[in-house]
Amino acid sequence: MKEKVGIAIHGGAGTILKSRMTAEKETLYLNALREALNAGWNHLKSGGSSLDAVELAVRELEDNPHFNAGKGSVFTNEGKHEMDASIMDGKALKAGCVSMLSRVRNPVSLARKIMECSEFVYLSGKGAESFAKEMNLEFESEEYFFSEFRYRQLQDSMRENVIQLDHSERENEKKFGTVGAVALDMNGNLAAATSTGGMTNKKFGRIGDSAIIGAGTYANNKTCAVSCTGHGEYFIRGVTAYDLSALMEYKGMNIRTASAEVINKLSTLGGDGGLIAIDNDANIEMPFNSEGMYRASVSYKSDTLVAIYCD
């Protein structure tokens, strides 16, 4: 393949240690990442758009109960689900964002409908779900989103009076539950998408970086497409996704140097997590400052990579 195409996906970052992962669970995650990657990659290879590719990949992850987005979303303090997502088109710098969804099956698809079928960028809560109904998007019952594993997380968090970013088996262990995808298509267009179920036991309608353009998601054909995963407050404060693009556009950095720079800045702020990024030549970077990050990538110039740990 000579056309410059590529895609990268992530399924969250954090304290992900091989010593605590069973072979069966590791295989499950690797296969899930590979399936989501292939959904987007096969579309790109057939001449499809980067927007379609990132939506397809993220929908696969949202439909998988093992990732904290869509079906696998964690519970809030009130025992409900509040899902967030965003998508961005690097060609026109158009974007769609949504937060505090409770029953829309695929939040990323609603974010795209907001971008393409409304005059708005960001909708939330009941209003967003009303718009989703007008767009004939698929809704699910509360039972669809219920997971005994996620419910136990909520009970543990409430008992300890803590907010968890994802499953925590021991003190100081953190996993950041977000999924995302970035892609470059044959027409040179970049796109990015991110989706999350938020924090276990979160209160007060808290919203993280996944729904915020420039913080957790950004795409610009001049530079790159970015999707982040981690402690959202730090990505918001660092405007991490846009910062990477700005370093490339205004300082002339390449994607590797710029990616390392923003992760270093994240560490300086005290935040944990990582990101995936692709530039307009299909160079892909997937840096993180945690013990692991569920990730996968492939491009016209690189073989398929599916990985979890630092090595």
Q: How many CB atoms lie within 10 A of CB 304?
A: 12
Give residues with Cβ within 8 angstroms of 34, minimum separation 6: 296, 304, 306
- Cα–Cα distance between 15 and 88 in angstroms, integer? 29
- Cα–Cα distance between 132 and 130 in angstroms, integer? 5
Which candidate in 15, 22, 27, 178 is catalytic? 178
- Cα–Cα distance between 233 and 266 in angstroms, integer? 10
DSSP string, 238-293: HTHHHHHHHHHHHH---HHHHHHHHHHHHHHHT--EEEEEEETT--EE--BSSSEE
- Cα–Cα distance between 132 and 140 in angstroms, integer? 12
Query: Beta strand 122-124 with 94-101: parallel, antiparallel or unpaired?
Result: parallel
Residue 136, Ramachandran bin (φ over 0: left; ψ between -120 and 50: alpha; else beta): left
CA distances for 144 relative to 21, 72, 102, angstroms: 26, 9, 11
Active site residue 178: yes
Taking alpha carbons only, the member of 176, 199, 211, 121 closest to residue 291 is 176
Q: Which residues are catalytic?
A: 178
